[in-house]
Structure 1
Amino acid sequence: MKWILLLTLLTIFQIGVNQELNCNLTINTTQVTGGSTQLPVVNYLDEKVRSFINDRRWTNDNIKPNERIDFSMLINITQSLGGDRYRAEMQINSVRPVYNSNYNTSVLNFKDNNFEFTFSQMDVLDFSIQSSNQNNLTALLAYYIYMVLGYDYDTFAPNGGDKFFDIAKLIVEQNQSSSFPGWSASESSANNNRFWIVENLRQPRFKNLRSMAYMYHRQGLDMMHSNPAEARKKMAEAIELLKPVYEDSPNNINVQIFFNAKSTEIIGAFKEADAAEKREIITVLDRIYPANTTRWASINQR
């Protein structure tokens, strides 16, 4: 019954004309091996991917032009494998505005090193969740689009991204038998692939990943204009919610995604705190994300 509802929602999403996304797309071929570094097909790829993302409706929400979600996507094609198949890396970074400011905060920042796909200039990029026989390129793009939407909506309402993460999970399930990497829990790099990124967000034991996103953004950052001290307090409380996640899963990819997006921002915000507050947040950060210990120490620098 749950999947029937998702199919109905997706059908509704794709009928409308108010697009929700504004993707700044870059496709790079300068590192290509196994084929021409020019790859004439890239011109077609750029046009079709850009249209697929930006000209399609992905939700049934009424989105004003100034409310569209901005994100960048860099597809760095590294190898031509023959037969219209390409190996690439993909870097995605989505942002959302902070209330009553000119500042945009990074929300989803992730690099997919297994962005492999087939494409020819005659291909039509289309996507339907009803079909389990998707072109891997459209499956990849749709997956990350729903992740962008889910991450963004989680910052505005508790568990606001549920419906989008459910669709992303369904895309993963449809690609379990795919010959393309990045979809399976059994892969050698499975702890940080597409399967686990969405799976972690749906597991009750990692529920703090979701509640943290709302508290950090809506109750923290968005209040910075009116009460910076209280905003930092909420941001610190949100970060502390990640402690049980880290203790349960020290290599949790979603924790890494959060700090990829937020490390510089956190350092800047807490440089304005008093000495006691700085000590407390540095202790928490060192415990949860020790890979950044040197950077966390810079909170004490002015």
Structure 2
Amino acid sequence: MKILGLALIFIASISFSQELNCRVIVNALQVQTTERAVFTEMETEFAQFLNTTKWTNDAFEEEEVINCNLVITISEMPSIGVFKASVQVLSSRPVYGSGYETVLINFADRDWDFEYVQSQPLRFNENTFTSNITSMLAYYAYMIIGFDYDTFSEMGGTPHFQNAFKIVNNAQQTSYTGWQQFNSVRNRYWLIENVQNPQLEPIRKALYNYHRNGLDIITKDRQQAEKVILQALSDIQRANRARPRSILTISFMDAKSGELQQLFSESNLATRRQAYNLLSNIDPSRTDEYKALIE
């Protein structure tokens, strides 16, 4: 079911019974240290935590496992065992009846500081904060699963987003950045806040229509698929008017802008104009790119 697509690098699945097939990449080129083995161990341990933990009560077949990447760029090591980093989170899901895989999440988390000791087990308790490593990894595990489920059934990711929200709540009393509403307008707190905000619910419903009723039928009925996707964009536009430039809207467009340009480039002029008007309104920073649709 999972087929390599786009420019994302996803590792081949071997045998999975859990929900995630996550590749973790640790880039520590900015850190000056002779002890490089710690970064290789991070990759292995973080990936093992994500890929062997059972995150849901659902049974997953091997071909249903969710492909994702976490690219961790370590910018500082203020002291031994203490790290400051940013994380790029990528996930995808296949488009039915095609060899194409569509990006669901392309999110940059710029504020992650943590302590890591080699050979120390990674422990996670969903009811309490235990470490900033497992809390961050578990948070994105639930977010990745939630967005994936939202594309297969309307609002289907709700229980997984609730688990992510619980992790954010547990982290409120810590001093770690990225969990509080006052640290930034683009962090873990605001991403889950947006997902659960009633004003932005049209975006989550649009995720289902865009993928299940749009992309998944495009090889069979392109005209109907285009109609559904345009309606999904219209729903996102409505949510964007209620909450302009929300992180959820920005995250959607970061994942989908290139795909939408390619998709509508094959449409008739009237459809391309409609797509251009919606896209340039929702995502004005890319207006010049979208102009190619009407030129």
| Fold conserved between structures, TM > 0.5 | yes
Structure-to-structure mapping, 1:29-40, within 5 angstroms? 29-32=28-31, 35-36=32-33, 38-40=35-37
Indicate the residue corresponding to 2:143 in structure 1.
147
Indicate the residue corresponding to 2:216 in structure 1.
222
Matched, 1:23 2:17: no
Matched, 1:268 2:262: yes
Q: Secondary structure at the match of 1:242?
A: helix
Match of 2:58 among 57, 61, 80: 61
Indicate if the aligned counterparts of 2:199 and 2:243 stay in contact, CA closer than 8 A.
no
Q: Secondary structure at the match of 1:59?
A: coil
Structure 1 portions without partners, runs of 5+? 1-16
Indicate if the aligned counterparts of 2:273 and 2:293 stay in contact, CA closer than 8 A.
no
Greater CA deviation, 290-299 or 94-103?
290-299
Between the aligned partners of 1:196 and 1:41, the Cα distance in structure 2 is: 31
Indicate if the aligned counterparts of 2:24 and 2:47 stay in contact, CA closer than 8 A.
yes
How many residues of Structure 1 are paired with residues of Structure 2 in the alignment?
280
Structure-to-structure mapping, 1:64-79, within 5 angstroms? 64-79=61-76
Between the aligned partners of 1:299 and 1:261, the Cα distance in structure 2 is: 18
Between the aligned partners of 1:63 and 1:289, the Cα distance in structure 2 is: 36
Indicate the residue corresponding to 1:13 in structure 2.
none
Tell me by how many angstroms 1:37 deviates.
Answer: 6.2
Structure-to-structure mapping, 1:225-236, within 5 angstroms? 225-236=219-230
Between the aligned partners of 1:50 and 1:21, the Cα distance in structure 2 is: 9
Between the aligned partners of 2:123 and 2:274, the Cα distance in structure 1 is: 50
Tell me by how many angstroms 1:275 deviates.
Answer: 0.8
The amino acid that maps onto 1:220 is: G
Between the aligned partners of 2:264 and 2:140, the Cα distance in structure 1 is: 31
Structure 2 portions without partners, runs of 5+? 1-15
Between the aligned partners of 1:186 and 1:91, the Cα distance in structure 2 is: 21
Matched, 1:238 2:246: no
Give the TM-score taking structure 1 as reference length: 0.90
Indicate the residue corresponding to 1:179 in structure 2.
175
The amino acid that maps onto 1:121 is: Q
Between the aligned partners of 2:257 and 2:218, the Cα distance in structure 1 is: 17
Give the TM-score taking structure 2 as reference length: 0.92
Greater CA deviation, 279-288 or 241-250?
241-250
The amino acid that maps onto 1:265 is: E
Aligned structure 1 segments of 4 or more residues deviating by more than 3 angstroms: none
Indicate if the aligned counterparts of 1:30 and 1:37 stay in contact, CA closer than 8 A.
no
Between the aligned partners of 1:103 and 1:18, the Cα distance in structure 2 is: 23
Match of 2:46 among 46, 49, 54: 49
- Write out per-residue CA displacement over residues 126-148 of structure 1, whole angstroms, 9 at most, x where no aligned residue: 21112x23110000000000000
Matched, 1:158 2:185: no
Determine what percentage of the aligned residue pairs are the same residue: 34
Indicate the residue corresponding to 1:12 in structure 2.
none
